[in-house]
Structure 1
């Protein structure tokens, strides 16, 4: 049995033994439980407690109706629930006074599951947008994931802020979906237009970056074009080949003279701005998918504490924010204003309990240990926007 499942059972057993423990678990919601039967039981006990069930005022022995009524109420939402299962939860609770700590474990598991689920949705939205040539679904998915992270941070009692992990999360490389390869032709034509009509660089140089190209080799060609444009030097096949050689791209095998010749000699009609927007659109969806995979890998690391998970996940969304701002600049849209903090955030007392820092009750031994404070965030250097 997993520690998370044992924690869920211990919480339910604690409120069966001592209904007053529900007063210390106001920050814990039924949806935080993984098993449907546990959600139904916790919701039933909260409802009975709110309706002033006689067990709520019991000072000594808890009436048997507290168990039977909870089973009856929960049985309306799940099947197969019996009173014997509820009594088994009582034996699963070592100490009812530790209910806030058990609840914190349940909340920790819920945070990991919620972040995983929304990261999967973001990745699915990015793939769908890539196939349809859109970006709005991926951007909405990123907004939802960010809102979820901020809300979870407030519930956990920490300040949401991007913090880079000590080491990148391990994950298996994923092949890009078929839709992302459709941008290859646009990238090739765009580079040819820029090499043939160097003045077109002014249309894209303000927001298009080498990292936006799906093919790293074509991104390096664009970097060479940008360097020549920045220095005010002429651009043609020879100067572009010379710039590539000066940067060691020919010696390393990143580029070949044949690739540069194919770009410069295969140019056709096209608008640099329109082609650049197609490259940017693909960059948005690719970056969204990459961020989603990083967030999911973080969320699936059970050893990662919720505060660190939230802050590392926010950091993983940083590259998408940077690409998004340039995409909006390319389309003449202002960058979105960061949302104001929600006025419905949990009160400090609930956060205090969530961190298991509440004072022990008189009927319980003072054995609960204080939670650890979140570590200060490290400064994150913004990515460079230059071509050099």
Structure 2
């Protein structure tokens, strides 16, 4: 018999021995907090009899308890759950160490209910994420993510603590997981999105607010998106070769994350389309993956019986933090906003302003000077022509 079941028996036994203990429990301990249906039915019967003005409910600690209190509770509870006997109800009374400790036993029952409720809703979120992942949708995941957040807030109020995220210490930190399998359609959407951005780099302006490298499943695609963003930020031309060069500078070719053939294939200049649509698909897939991971982490925390309810709620909200971020960015992707106003005379696809190019070059020169060797070597390199002074023939 687990300590939780013993606590449930003790709180019910305390009420049988001193029915007046219900006044200290009825405002915050509910039948659904009991893990066993029989215990929930007995407690619900007690609450019902008290609400109907049963004379035993007003019995003080030093007064005799009418026998009708047990028999009436048995009759009322038997209408809710079959199999209850008078002998079992009498055994509940003998299972209570101290009737005046009923609120403490009740808190034990409530603590078990909080762990159980968090685990159940985390499992529902995980199942919804798996279902949406197969269907390519997000509606069920969004619904159950909101439900879990609301449940955590409600449980915090019931326990009397603040519902705010708390980073767990190392012993309770989530463990690294093996990468989950990814559908071919998700990878195809990512590749097509990167191809759209390579052929029409101006579309990056509409995506950078809500699309992050971590939204891509494949590490190579993350590196390509970073390379595209870096080139666009520096105002440099974007094509197959420049993207390949940038990924090489970032070490993605040397460490095997990407190879030149794949970069050229993904950055095919013949690919065209609305990047916003495929970007939204990528964020949706990211939301489903993030929800599944967060649900597993919250479920693992709920299984840690050593965690107090306040700790469990705070750590669970922290685990849901990345999911909240993806939900926020998906809302931004859904918004039908007008494109940002462009400077007068500028057109989509036009070269960036000269001032922006000069600023990017200045940053590059500063980095080069910071990494330069000693003065004699630097002087010997001064005669070499700067790569910024070369222009491709037009």
TM-score where L is the length of structure 1: 0.82
* Residue pairs, 1:37-48, within 5 angstroms: 37-48=38-49
| 2:72 paired with 1:99 | no
**What is the Cα deviation at residue 259 of structure 1?**
2.0
| 2:286 paired with 1:283 | yes
CA root-mean-square deviation: 1.9
Number of residue pairs the alignment of both structures matches: 333
Residue number in structure 1 paired with 2:121: 118
How far apart in 2 are the matches of 1:202 and 1:112?
A: 45
* Residue pairs, 1:42-57, within 5 angstroms: 42-57=43-58
How far apart in 2 are the matches of 1:13 and 1:259?
A: 70
| Unaligned stretches of 5+ residues in structure 2 | 338-394
Structure 1 residues 150-181: Cα deviation after superposition (integer angstroms, max 9, x where no partner): 11000000011011111354568476476x44
Residue number in structure 2 paired with 1:221: 224
Residue number in structure 2 paired with 1:19: 19
* Residue pairs, 1:153-168, within 5 angstroms: 153-167=156-170
> What is the aligned counterpart of 1:322 among 297, 321, 325?
325
Residue number in structure 1 paired with 2:306: 303
How far apart in 2 are the matches of 1:63 and 1:272?
A: 76
Residue number in structure 1 paired with 2:187: 184
**What is the Cα deviation at residue 238 of structure 1?**
2.2
Residue number in structure 1 paired with 2:392: none
**What is the Cα deviation at residue 125 of structure 1?**
1.7
How far apart in 2 are the matches of 1:205 and 1:7?
A: 54
Instruction: Indicate if the aligned counterparts of 2:198 and 2:269 stay in contact, CA closer than 8 A.
Output: no
How far apart in 1 are the matches of 2:95 and 2:184?
A: 54
How far apart in 2 are the matches of 1:117 and 1:159?
A: 21
> What is the aligned counterpart of 1:293 among 296, 303, 314?
296
How far apart in 2 are the matches of 1:267 and 1:4?
A: 65
> What is the aligned counterpart of 2:252 among 227, 244, 249?
249
TM-score where L is the length of structure 2: 0.80
Structure 1 residues 265-305: Cα deviation after superposition (integer angstroms, max 9, x where no partner): 38533221111111111111111111111111111111111
More helix by share: 2
Higher relative contact order (CA 8 A, sep 6+): 1
How far apart in 1 are the matches of 2:176 and 2:80?
A: 40
Structure 1 residues 122-165: Cα deviation after superposition (integer angstroms, max 9, x where no partner): 11222222222222221111111111111100000001101111
| 2:134 paired with 1:131 | yes
Structure 1 residues 76-134: Cα deviation after superposition (integer angstroms, max 9, x where no partner): 11111000000111111110111101000000000011111111111122222222222
Give the greater-gyration-radius structure (CA). 2
Residues 1:289 and 1:333: Cα distance change in structure 2 (over 3 Å): farther
Instruction: Indicate if the aligned counterparts of 2:239 and 2:269 stay in contact, CA closer than 8 A.
Output: no
Instruction: Indicate if the aligned counterparts of 2:132 and 2:138 stay in contact, CA closer than 8 A.
Output: yes
| Unaligned stretches of 5+ residues in structure 1 | 335-388
How far apart in 1 are the matches of 2:89 and 2:250?
A: 70
Instruction: Indicate if the aligned counterparts of 2:195 and 2:272 stay in contact, CA closer than 8 A.
Output: no
